[in-house]
Amino acid sequence: QGWPHVISIISRASGAPVIAKALAYTAAVAAAALPSVVQEELRMAKEAGLESVLLGMRKKPVAGEEDVLCPAAEPTDEEIHGIDVLNIEEAVRELWKAAIYAESAMGCTGPVIKISSKNLEKAEQCLKKSGYL
């Protein structure tokens, strides 16, 4: 909100054709005044009740919730996608409660939970049961 700039993040490993197209796209959205379009869309979404929808999606903290210790670290060779960035740390703690080592991270397409392949199925079941997936 209130950000008047267009920012593009381009991997230099993408190669010249991809970078050229990305720069052309960035120029097009800048010329189309994307920040003002975003502001207007956010205004309309708020008028339509966006804030209450977002609040309803957040997992409610449990009063007096106990401290959870992280299990012993182990190599993480799998990722679990699809958890809201606002809930990623709570989801990791849920796995710790089940004695599953997990780490939160930011993947190429958004937030992920890094997990060992041996615990992947158990972790996914735990997260589904607790409402994170």
48-71: per-residue pLDDT in tens? Answer: 999 999 888 776 666 556 688 999
Specify the length of the chain in residues: 133
Active site residues: 108
Best CA proximity match to 104, nearest among 131, 125, 127:
127
Q: Which CATH architecture has domain 78-129?
A: 2-Layer Sandwich (3.30)
Domain with CATH 3.30.70.1530 in the chain: 78-129
Q: Contact, 67 vs 118, CB < 8 A?
A: no
pTM > 0.85:
no
Q: What percent of the chain has pLDDT over 90?
A: 73
Sign of CA dihedral 113, 121, 59, 1: positive
